[in-house]
Amino acid sequence: MQFAGSFLPIFICVVVPLIKYAESVNCQTQQLKGLCALSGTWRNQLQSVMTITCKGGTIKGQYNSAVGNAERKYDLAGRYLQVNETDFIVGWSVAFKNQYRNAMSIASWTGVYYAAEGTIRTQWILASYKDQEDYWRTYSTNQDTFTKIQSHPCLQSNVN
């Protein structure tokens, strides 16, 4: 036991800095260079959470709905336009199907990110599959406001 314990200072002095260096190197990969300011984790007023990265006009990430019969995270994809130094127009969609369940529905959000507020204000539409005679119940629409709860770790040294 004494022999194993003597390696702890070496681990702390050598391995931990290497891990931190590897994390910073990851931010320098082509995939993570030039991330837009929207990259990070966001929460809406109903406590649904999305984590996104955005680069070159494209948004990718995961959405975890706090409403309905949601289970786990769902992939999301979308687009954005930067309209001035700080603000963006955004849109993304989520198909509520993953390895755990198929909710037979898709939602799309369209909105504006106002940097001065730190929010993304959106309108959304949800399409749920219904039998043809119940088609009138297929669509729901409403609004969400998302607030950033955590920036992407690479944004500190790599803001677009």
Confidence of residue 35 (pLDDT cuts 50, 70, 90): confident
Tell me what pLDDT residue 14 has.
Answer: 41
Q: What is the mean pLDDT of residues 34-59?
A: 94
Cα–Cα distance for residue pair 77/124, rounded to 1 Å:
14
17 has a pLDDT exceeding 50 = no
DSSP E strands in 9-138: the ranges are 40-44, 49-55, 58-64, 74-82, 88-97, 102-114, 119-128
Strand pairing of 119-128 and 40-44?
Answer: unpaired
CA distance 40 to 153: 8
pTM here is 0.77
Q: What is the pLDDT of residues 89-144, one digit of tens each?
A: 999 999 999 988 899 999 999 999 999 999 999 999 999 999 999 999 999 999 99
The answer to whether residue 157 scores a pLDDT higher than 50 is no
User: What is the Cα–Cα distance from 1 to 50, expressed in whole angstroms?
Assistant: 45
Identify the bridge partners of residue 78 per DSSP, sorted by sequence position. Answer: 59, 92
